Structure 1
Amino acid sequence: MTTSPPATRTTQSAAARRAPGGPGSGPVEREGLPWGVLAIVALGAAALLALLVSLVVGGAAEAPLVLDPGPVVRYGLPIAKLATTLGASAAIGALLLSLLALARDTPAYDRALDVAAAGAALWALGAGATGFFIFLSVFLEPITLDDRFGQLLASFFTERELGQAWLATALMAAVVTVLCFAVRSPALLAGVLVLAVAAVWPVAQTGHAGGTADHDAAVTAVYLHSVFAAVWVGGLLTLVLARRALGDRLGAVLARYSTLALIAFIVVAVSGLVSAQIRVGTLEGLATPYGALLIAKVVSLVALGAFGAAYRGVLIARVQRAVRPRASLWAIVVAELVVMGAASGIATALARTAPPVEEVPAEELADPTPAELLTGSPLPPPFEPWRLATEWDLNLLWALLAVFGAFFYLAGAWRLHRRGDRWPVHRTILWVAGMAMLFAVTSGGFAVYEPYLFSVHMLGHMLLSMAIPVLLVLAAPVTLAARAIHARTDGSRGPREWILAIVHSRFAGVVGHPLVAAVVFAVSLLAFYYSPLFSWAVTDHVGHQWMILHFLLSGFLFVNALIGIDPAPSRPPYPIRLLILMATMAFHAFFGLFLLTGTGLLLPEWYGAMGREWGQAPLADQQTGGGIAWSVGEIPTLALALLVMLSWSRSDSRESKRRDRQAERDGDAELHAYNDMLAQRADRTRS
């Protein structure tokens, strides 16, 4: 535990840090141009100009033939949305940059949080204004001060799904604003960042017609696109606004931002491609006004990629060598912000432009099937086991996590290899296999058929909670990260520091304890399948993602407590581990047997109402799922038991070798001391 310095010294050092040229700030940049003001003006002006032009090109600025809300609403609504986008970008980008690139006790850290607070305030105001303009466009009511207008407005924000989404976003952004002023601890700010990222979700759900065939894929693509675009834009804006406070740390922070920007570029490009494919359909759709705006956005994305290549190829090294950054650097940054603003304006106008592919909710179809009414999609082809490997339904979130997970693990293993350190090849193979299996379960035939067949859902559950965790735990990712990622020496927290902080946190110590992990792993079966959580996970997109995460994490913690190589809060003796494993798996088998012999259908309003004519009847299929939980689930159990016994044997072997080496060094002193003790006891007994 560290002790705090005297209060007077803390106050003085804080004041010195905030003063230009104070300790730790490095050389102070003295430039003639106000680059921060110029950056804000350039970003906002480019975004507004691109928005207005795009509204005209896309036709969204034209007055509709009927139910025209007026020019104030027609233009005010997209402008308010643009303010929301830019505010969210500043908040999310500044928070992430402060957590991953800046040291806590520096002026740059404080400046970044000021940027985040200002951005969140703009975000809250923009979201509130957007909701108000949407209300005016829906109800076509003139603004008055009477009770009727107030009641209509209140009902819109509290009872209509669209109003609730914008109200939730505005309230969450307002909370982020307050917390950015009140919180300075990195751990607490990480929670603020999670809240800010979550605040993007309600609005993302409103960007695609509910009930359409690609609803979940479209919502995920829009959400990821919005979040990582915010990281990209907001991080760069924070850099230029905190440039003077960074001092001689500018080069290092710019390099860290460049890595974040590269990841953001990949996610924005992939999610944009998925979204465009859903909304444009064929190449003929590019000839429409929507397609023209989409092409303009792609051009801006390519230009931003060129800026990123320039950063990584030339500019970062030049800044790190220079005593003081040149004005040309900030000119390039401002130019990049201009392109970012234009892209943001085009994206906002795209949301107001009719896409070539018409979005028709299932309930508005001429003759919807029961499956279409429930899931928004038609029934897949009749199920055959081999279709699990041939049918695909991309889950973009987990696909990106699997790809990035495999890439960074391979990059870490390669870094160790280049510097001459050994890393077992079998661990790399296990990790890549685990990521490939995660991708297959979340985006392959399992994802296609699990909404319709409980047995497929249960097989996916077994893989997520028992098979994949075994592969990932034996790959020792935390150990690899601790060895391969460079440690920070400037007081900031990088990926290595955050990973180790999480692993050694009190919360991880509690949930990672073998008994707690075993209880969570076992009891969550009943808590999930015999509570409203199951309905939420099956019928709601967010619930489904939560289900995947829960199964994966609970399985990982349980397996790591038994056979893990990475650090764990405690690992009991091997006989106790076997007892915990057998008790947990007995509970698991009982659950499977209960489903196998049960006569009541889980979620009859879902699995029993799909109207499918292929496959087993819903109850028989559920009983098959119970058989999978009882029988197939025992295969990982046996593998875990064998691995625990193998670890036990290796531990005994290592202990035996250690004692042999000790005996060679001291002439078996421990054995002689033990024999002397027995002889003394024998002498005392005879006397």
Structure 2
Amino acid sequence: MPTRTHQAAPSRGAVATGLARGLHRPWLLVVPALTLVLTAVSLWAAGSAGSTELNDPGGLVRWGLPLAESILNLSMAVVMGSLLFATCLLPRFAVDAAGRRRRQPASEGAATPERGQRAEYPPFTAALNLGAVAALTWTIAALCTLVLSYADISGTPPSADQTFTSQLLSFMQNIPAGQIQTTLVVVGAVVTTLIFGVRSLTGLLLTLGLSFVGIVAMALGGHSSGGDDHMGAVNSLGLHLLGVCLWFGGLLVLAYLSRQLGGPDAGTGTVPQKRRGTETAQTRRVPMAVAVLRRYSAVALAGFILVSVSGVLNAAVRVHGWHDLTSTYGLLIVVKAALTVLLGLAGAVHRLWLIPRVESGETSAFRGIWQVIAAELIIFAGISAAAVTLSRTAPPVNEDLATDASPARIITWYDAPPEPQGALWFTTWRPDWFWVAVALFAAWAYVWAFIRVRRGGGRWNPLRLASWLVGLACLTVATSGSLAVYARVLFSVHMMEHMSLTMIIPIFLVLGAPVTLLLQALEPRQDGTRGPREWILRFLHSTFSKVVTHPIFVGVNFAASLIVFYFTPLFGVALRYHVGHEFMMVHFLITGYLFALVLIGIDPIPHRPTYPFRIVMLIATLGYHAFVGIAIMSSDTLLQASWYGNLGLEWAAPAIEDQQRGGAFMWALGEIPTMVVAVIVAVQWSRSDRRLAERLDRKADRDGDAELEAYNEMLERMQERGGR
């Protein structure tokens, strides 16, 4: 048998074959190195790291702080990307071609191989290992950023003496910038601990949610309270950071796992089969690399849209007019936007050309995929450098609070609006980009599911689609329209916004039955991963769902929230802090949604009360709302007097009168939706009884009314025994 001789000529083919399998992990170190180099170059070009004449902290701080921020940003993105892959894109356990979980060889002392533990999927393990290292880096970088930030603000070089240490502790405890940096350190440390110790998918998903607290902290620290649109800037920056972290972090994790996913032992995954006509939903098996690429492609597309739109919105707050784009800050925005467009084009090449080629069987197209990914990582390094330099560069628009600012501007972050009358109720807008994004995403998801179900031959009432869209439109008005603007300065309008979120909007959303529609539209995965459908079902069957949807919990939560919120310091927290304000609206909406879901929803929940019990809940709620509303109407004590009593609105009624008017609104607006829900419950009760009667009639027709005959015979026997 002849032996093969080694040929040196086809080295190019060997390189191509190796590249087709994925990227070598050592080469990924080029990304952070290039990010640091480009950050230093951009800082030098923009002059953002130059020395200052007054309180110069030194070159170590001026250059070390932005470089530490670059490492912090990169490590946060990798952590979130690795957790995203572990919870949604990769299986936890290895599966065979049939979708069954593989088992490791039996350990020593095991009687049979079946007693061996389930084998953890190697890319899953690798993703979490990468996330653990990145989380540790996050913690260290955040700690360095904390120390250097204080040195930069105070104008003193870092030192180990007692004076610097005590002032640093005061900075961490009392100064908002220090509190934000401390939050990043704490969140990084907790996430690090959880990634090392947690392996359940639910725990990892909660860890991913906890890591988002870092995004919130960075968004709050990225804008001055004296800007023209504080809430718009914070929310758009938060959405921007979320898109970048999931997009860039996911891309880094994908490149890190590329050789494992393209290896011979990677296994297979499932992807949805395209529906044609009235075909039923099906899935097909493809190489795991293809399945992961398709899933990440959807994440990348969402990230690109989020980053692009939020970036434009955030820049509009800081740049007033095209002439500001010629400034250093404006030029950095232009560079960042151009690089983002290049990334969008690269993503289009992936989605429209390379991935379809791989799905059709051209495995050679993997080489192009990894080449484009390598180019994307280089572009992302440039974007990261530009972002850090932007954070160190003064915008052309002054964001400091004016010395002659009005009381309303000082308290609420905005100038006082004009007196609400006539058309102003319809033309006054202040977009809350968080809720706008929520409404747009919810509308897109529902319409997508509706079209998918209808094309697959399923049936779905268009009135439910209309109800869902009307609810989202009302949500947008309540959070971004005149109600949101005047709720900041008038308690009566705040109460109108509250009642809309908790009593009116949930009725429309619940009647849309989004969970039932999504479960019909989404195909189940059969490769051990958890997609949206699997996570929805997991939540529906969880202990948490059983508790929060229990009728008693829902009723108590709905009623007690009024007392706990308005008659405790929580009301002040919601007014004064951005996070508190958003949490208030989220809480009101979810509380009302759960209440309406238990009473009139058709979506599956663990506990569905009987119709008589629903009527009792409604009566009790109506009475409780009336009681609280009357209590506020008759009160002579002003709630949050330091807020509503100091706004100085010339056109407004006295604050105590406006508060009493708000109590009246609470009473009236609480009764109308309650009566609407009562009518819906009565209609559903009637239909349920009619369906039960029809079912019994059909059963009687099938068996000759055997149940009634048996009952009559029993009565006759009892009568005979009684006669004897």
User: Which band: TM-score by shorter chain?
Assistant: over 0.9
Q: Which amino acid aligns with 2:692?
A: E
Measured in 2, the distance between the counterparts of 1:207 and 1:143 equals 23
Structure 1, gaps ≥5 residues long: 1-28
Q: Deviation above 6 Å: which 4+ runs of structure 1?
A: none
2:721 to 661, 671, 684: 684
1:595 aligns with 2:595: no
Q: How does 1:239-638 map to 2 (within 5 A)?
A: 239-246=254-261, 247=266, 248-320=287-359, 321-323=361-363, 326-361=366-401, 365-384=402-421, 386-638=423-675
Measured in 1, the distance between the counterparts of 2:348 and 2:235 equals 27
2:185 to 170, 174, 186: 170
3-state secondary structure, aligned to 2:458:
coil
Q: Which amino acid aligns with 1:241?
A: Y
1:10 match: none
Measured in 2, the distance between the counterparts of 1:127 and 1:407 equals 37
Q: Would the aligned equivalents of 2:227 and 2:398 in 1 still touch at CA under 8 Å?
A: no
1:194 aligns with 2:233: no
Worse-superposed segment, 323-332 or 400-409: 323-332
Instruction: Output the TM-score relative to the length of structure 1.
Output: 0.93
3-state secondary structure, aligned to 1:633:
helix
Measured in 1, the distance between the counterparts of 2:156 and 2:506 equals 56
1:16 match: none
1:24 match: none
2:40 to 48, 52, 59: 52
The structural deviation recorded for 1:30 is 5.2
Measured in 2, the distance between the counterparts of 1:590 and 1:398 equals 31
CA change 1:39–1:477 in 2 (3 A) is: farther
Measured in 1, the distance between the counterparts of 2:243 and 2:31 equals 17
1:225 aligns with 2:240: yes
Q: Which amino acid aligns with 1:553?
A: I
Q: Would the aligned equivalents of 1:370 and 1:611 in 2 still touch at CA under 8 Å?
A: yes
Q: Which amino acid aligns with 2:155?
A: L
The structural deviation recorded for 1:322 is 4.0
The structural deviation recorded for 1:621 is 1.1
Q: Would the aligned equivalents of 2:20 and 2:364 in 1 still touch at CA under 8 Å?
A: no
Measured in 1, the distance between the counterparts of 2:669 and 2:482 equals 18
Q: Which amino acid aligns with 1:216?
A: M
Q: Would the aligned equivalents of 2:135 and 2:191 in 1 still touch at CA under 8 Å?
A: yes
Worse-superposed segment, 383-392 or 597-606: 383-392
CA change 1:32–1:643 in 2 (3 A) is: closer
Measured in 2, the distance between the counterparts of 1:39 and 1:504 equals 44
Measured in 2, the distance between the counterparts of 1:39 and 1:353 equals 31
1:652 to 673, 681, 689: 689
Q: Would the aligned equivalents of 1:250 and 1:319 in 2 still touch at CA under 8 Å?
A: no
Worse-superposed segment, 645-654 or 665-674: 665-674
2:110 match: none
Q: Would the aligned equivalents of 2:147 and 2:158 in 1 still touch at CA under 8 Å?
A: no
3-state secondary structure, aligned to 1:606:
helix
Worse-superposed segment, 205-214 or 410-419: 205-214
Q: Would the aligned equivalents of 2:77 and 2:249 in 1 still touch at CA under 8 Å?
A: yes
3-state secondary structure, aligned to 2:227:
coil
The structural deviation recorded for 1:32 is 9.3
1:667 aligns with 2:704: yes
Q: Which amino acid aligns with 1:316?
A: I
Measured in 2, the distance between the counterparts of 1:438 and 1:34 equals 46
Worse-superposed segment, 143-152 or 329-338: 143-152
Structure 2, gaps ≥5 residues long: 1-16, 94-120, 267-286
CA change 1:141–1:420 in 2 (3 A) is: same
Residues 448-468 of structure 1: CA distance to partner in whole angstroms, max 9, x if unpaired? 110111111111111110111
Residues 384-403 of structure 1: CA distance to partner in whole angstroms, max 9, x if unpaired? 26423211111111110000
2:250 match: 235
2:221 match: 206
Q: Which amino acid aligns with 1:540?
A: Y
Q: Which amino acid aligns with 2:693?
A: S
Worse-superposed segment, 392-401 or 609-618: 609-618
Q: Would the aligned equivalents of 1:38 and 1:334 in 2 still touch at CA under 8 Å?
A: no
Q: CA RMSD in A?
A: 1.7
CA change 1:664–1:157 in 2 (3 A) is: same
3-state secondary structure, aligned to 2:331:
helix
Measured in 2, the distance between the counterparts of 1:268 and 1:395 equals 16
The structural deviation recorded for 1:39 is 5.0
Measured in 1, the distance between the counterparts of 2:366 and 2:89 equals 22
2:81 to 93, 106, 110: 93
Q: Would the aligned equivalents of 2:23 and 2:258 in 1 still touch at CA under 8 Å?
A: no
Percentage of matched positions with identical amino acids: 41
Worse-superposed segment, 158-167 or 623-632: 158-167
The structural deviation recorded for 1:213 is 3.4
Measured in 2, the distance between the counterparts of 1:455 and 1:36 equals 62
The structural deviation recorded for 1:157 is 2.7
1:72 aligns with 2:60: yes
Measured in 1, the distance between the counterparts of 2:513 and 2:473 equals 17
Residues 270-298 of structure 1: CA distance to partner in whole angstroms, max 9, x if unpaired? 21111100111111110101111100000
The structural deviation recorded for 1:371 is 0.8
Q: Which amino acid aligns with 2:475?
A: L
Measured in 2, the distance between the counterparts of 1:35 and 1:667 equals 73
Residues 25-52 of structure 1: CA distance to partner in whole angstroms, max 9, x if unpaired? xxxx955998243552342243223322
Q: Would the aligned equivalents of 2:23 and 2:259 in 1 still touch at CA under 8 Å?
A: no
Residues 212-266 of structure 1: CA distance to partner in whole angstroms, max 9, x if unpaired? 3322221222222112201000101111111233233011111111111111111
Q: Would the aligned equivalents of 1:39 and 1:240 in 2 still touch at CA under 8 Å?
A: no
Q: Would the aligned equivalents of 2:83 and 2:128 in 1 still touch at CA under 8 Å?
A: yes
CA change 1:358–1:619 in 2 (3 A) is: same
CA change 1:595–1:154 in 2 (3 A) is: closer
Measured in 2, the distance between the counterparts of 1:400 and 1:32 equals 38
Measured in 1, the distance between the counterparts of 2:176 and 2:657 equals 37
Q: Would the aligned equivalents of 2:57 and 2:151 in 1 still touch at CA under 8 Å?
A: yes
3-state secondary structure, aligned to 1:35:
coil
Q: Would the aligned equivalents of 2:465 and 2:512 in 1 still touch at CA under 8 Å?
A: yes
The structural deviation recorded for 1:323 is 4.7
Measured in 1, the distance between the counterparts of 2:248 and 2:625 equals 48
The structural deviation recorded for 1:191 is 1.2
Q: Would the aligned equivalents of 2:22 and 2:367 in 1 still touch at CA under 8 Å?
A: no
Q: Would the aligned equivalents of 2:61 and 2:157 in 1 still touch at CA under 8 Å?
A: no
Worse-superposed segment, 152-161 or 194-203: 152-161
CA change 1:74–1:166 in 2 (3 A) is: same
Worse-superposed segment, 608-617 or 378-387: 378-387
Q: Which amino acid aligns with 2:341?
A: V
Measured in 2, the distance between the counterparts of 1:145 and 1:577 equals 65
The structural deviation recorded for 1:324 is 6.8
